[in-house]
Amino acid sequence: MAIISLEGLEFFAYHGVHDFEKEQGNSFIVDVEVEVDVSEAEKTDELSGTIDYEKLFHIISAEMEIRSKLLEHVSSRICDAIFKYWEQIQHVKVRIGKLNPPIGAVCKMSGVTLTKTR
């Protein structure tokens, strides 16, 4: 088993509870880890035996475009979309951080980490 990850993906999206967040948007940082058997890739040196980083990015990007109030909801959708595309993935971990969250104080980033197992 291996952990394959994309870290520090940057998105501009419209997630948030407040109306101004839905209208103005904000910057988000996303990290995703997937656990998968890569023994076939180890033997063959072929992409078909592992996870395609580019496809993984496109799945994450598509889910980040869907407006949501809560990062928990976005994280869950990302996990579900990854499981749907790759049956061989057993675990997914998604971290989403909202830069400069509107909490009334200086805060570099708020975030949610969600882990799902098939």
Walk along the chain (118 residues) and give the pLDDT tens digit of each residue: 999 999 999 999 999 999 999 999 999 999 999 999 999 999 999 999 999 999 999 999 999 999 999 999 999 999 999 999 999 999 999 999 999 998 899 999 999 999 999 8
Question: How distant is the alpha carbon of residue 55 from its chain centre?
Answer: 12
Q: Which residues are tagged catalytic?
A: 98
Structural domain count of the chain: 1
Is 38 in a helix, a strand, or coil?
coil
- What is the domain-level CATH number for residue 68? 3.30.1130.10
Residue 13's domain comprises: 2-117
Question: pTM surpassing 0.85?
Answer: yes
**Smallest Cα–Cα separation from 114: which of 78, 62, 67, 84?**
78
* Cα 68–Cα 74–Cα 75 angle in degrees, nearest 5: 160
